[in-house]
Structure 1
Amino acid sequence: MNASLNASAPHHLPAFITSPGGTDVLAVAAATLLILAVLAVGLLFLRLHTLPERIAHKGHKLQFEIVAVLGLLSLFTHVHLFWVIGLMLALIDLPDFGGTLGRMARALERIAGSRPGDEAAETPEAPSVVTSPEEPPPPTRALPRIVPASTGS
């Protein structure tokens, strides 16, 4: 078989035209470019999609897990409102009520005279001493009485 050109073809052909049985360089380059473009767009999409989670993680936010769950919901359901809510939660600082409420509880325990973690103060038990109906009940510990300061007039 003769690999010569057709008689009606011009003598100078562009570089992207291949000879019969040769590798089509233009198709290989286009396929490679297409695969790289799809991978780049997918990577950009995933990086943008995890933006709220990365912001919340970097800022050590209390609501980090909520933001992460909203990001996953947005990814799998394609409801972009979840992503927007997650982004807003990642940008907002929620106050730490746990520390304040814990300090308040410890202060109230100190005022009541019980020790932290004292289970006897949390669950009252029946008296172990059986008393007769004539005997008065055993004395209980009284709380300190607060007397208001008198005004000088």
Structure 2
Amino acid sequence: MAEALHPAAPHHLPAFITSPGDTDYLMVAAGAILVAAVLGVGLLFLRLHTLPERMAHRAHKLQFEIVAVLGLLALFTHMHIFWVLGLLLALIDIPDISGMFGRMAGALEKIAGIAPGRGGQAAAEADAAPVEEPPIVPEATAVQSGQH
């Protein structure tokens, strides 16, 4: 016995309405689009989140490790100030002070006639050697001889 349609029911149903027990293709497509959108937004977020770290790494900055730690702190604490600080550090060139001091030390070693890289050893050897002190001249003798 076939059931008759209710008189208020439409005689033609849209294509996205399925019969009971059939596969709902619209829901499958919506689910696939939802999964792709969540993965896409997540990848975009992580790509944007690692922007300061990638900038510091690409420019071979001295402060790369600090920028990376700030990025991780921002990720796990949800405090955006860490990300902003990391971005600012990635954009700023911090001068290479150790290299500057190394060049100064090399120049001083060259002036002193010490072999390059032996400045600390030469200073330690000089400290270990006995130092001869000049004789003490009494003040009255120094004034008479015209030394003062």
Q: Same fold (TM over 0.5)?
A: yes
Q: Distance in 2 between matches of 1:6 and 1:20?
A: 17
Provide Cα deviations, 1:47-70, integer angstroms capped at 9, x if missing partner. 110111111122222212211111
- Indicate if the aligned counterparts of 2:70 and 2:85 stay in contact, CA closer than 8 A: yes
Unmatched 5+ residue regions in structure 2?
134-148
Question: Counterpart of 1:43 in structure 2: which amino acid?
Answer: L
Q: Does 1:101 align with 2:101?
A: yes
Q: 1:12 to 1:63 in 2, by over 3 A?
A: same
1:117 matched residue in structure 2: 117
2:136 matched residue in structure 1: none
Identity of aligned residues (%): 67
1:146 matched residue in structure 2: none
Normalised TM-score (structure 1): 0.72
Question: Counterpart of 2:91 in structure 1: which amino acid?
Answer: L
Q: Does 1:17 align with 2:32?
A: no
- SS, match of residue 14 in structure 1: coil
Q: Which moved more, 1:89-98 or 1:41-50?
A: 89-98
Unmatched 5+ residue regions in structure 1?
128-136, 141-153
1:9-48 map, 5 Å: 9-48=9-48
Structure 1 segments (4+ residues) deviating >3 Å: 124-127, 137-140
What number of residue pairs does the alignment pair up? 129
The structure with more helix, counted as a fraction of residues: 2
- Indicate if the aligned counterparts of 2:64 and 2:90 stay in contact, CA closer than 8 A: yes
Q: Distance in 1 between matches of 2:128 and 2:44?
A: 67
Question: Counterpart of 1:123 in structure 2: which amino acid?
Answer: A
- Indicate if the aligned counterparts of 2:106 and 2:117 stay in contact, CA closer than 8 A: no
Q: Distance in 2 between matches of 1:24 and 1:59?
A: 52
